[in-house]
Amino acid sequence: MPKNTVLTLQQQKQAGDKICQVTAYDYTMACLVEEAGLEMILVGDSLGMVMMGYEDTLPVTMDDMVRYTRSVTRATNNTFVVADMPFMSYQASMNEAVTNAGRLLKEGRAQAVKLEGGATVVKQIRAMTEAGIPVQAHIGMTPQSVNAFGGFKVQGKNVDAAKQIVEDAIAVQEAGAFSIVLECVPALLAEYITEQVNAITIGIGAGAGCDGQVLVGQDLLGMTHGFKPKFVKRFGEVGNAIMDAYAAYSAEVKAGTFPASPEHTFKIDEEVMELVRRG
């Protein structure tokens, strides 16, 4: 399988070949994504909810992101890994933004970083790309701004809001972003933006007209319970399979049938045991 790079991903867009991105946060899951041949992994700050049990992404730290990103990149040779910039890792100052982005490449070994925001973060995007750090932008519904939005809501449904998202897409592209995540944006608007920009558009709740798609791995695998966003399709029911396996394991342990002998146990010579018993 060829190694995915910014250049090969751009060539896919030009060829009309859809790009597949999925979140992964650990070595084991990243190994499976790599073997499946998906082009991109996002080590999302969604790990705050999926892996750490927070109610939103806001508590995630730079150290968290570096640690989880390095776990993923140890598993990947060909998959292009993008690491999220967590809340307040790029908003305070330009120097801090570039330094933190650099950590995700230098310590986390990611190939690119992702940050939320449109026209408001063009200075950060420009500074990062000038420092040689590829950037994936993220506009529309941006989870780090959940408090400002008043919840997780579709964005760009009226004329002014839709025009703002278009302007944001153009602004982040002009600042140097090679890719743009469009989250919870009406499908026709996302398709229009995809036609207007050269950057790779990756949709999540933005219809099939984008250059590619991204979903949270645990969502598409059916490992999560409770609220399910409208844009999520469960491509498997891995969660049920895991629970069934745990239940079967528990039942056999309690029944004394696991571990089975000699299938799961190791032998020792009876003569040795006799000497052990004698003390």
Q: Given 34, 183, 263, 274, which residue is catalytic?
A: 183
Question: Is 35 assigned a catalytic role?
Answer: no
- DSSP class per residue in 159-208: HHHHHHHHHHHHHHHHHT-SEEEEES--HHHHHHHHHH-SSEEEEESS-T
Spatial separation of the C-alpha atoms in residues 30 and 71, rounded to whole Å: 8
**Angle between helical axes of 27-36 and 62-73 (0-180°, round to 10):** 50
Spatial separation of the C-alpha atoms in residues 35 and 93, rounded to whole Å: 39
Total number of residues shown for the chain: 279
SS3 content of the chain, % helix, strand, coil (to 5): 45, 15, 40
Q: How many CB atoms lie within 10 A of CB 179?
A: 29
In three-state secondary structure terms, 26 is coil
Q: Which residues are catalytic?
A: 183
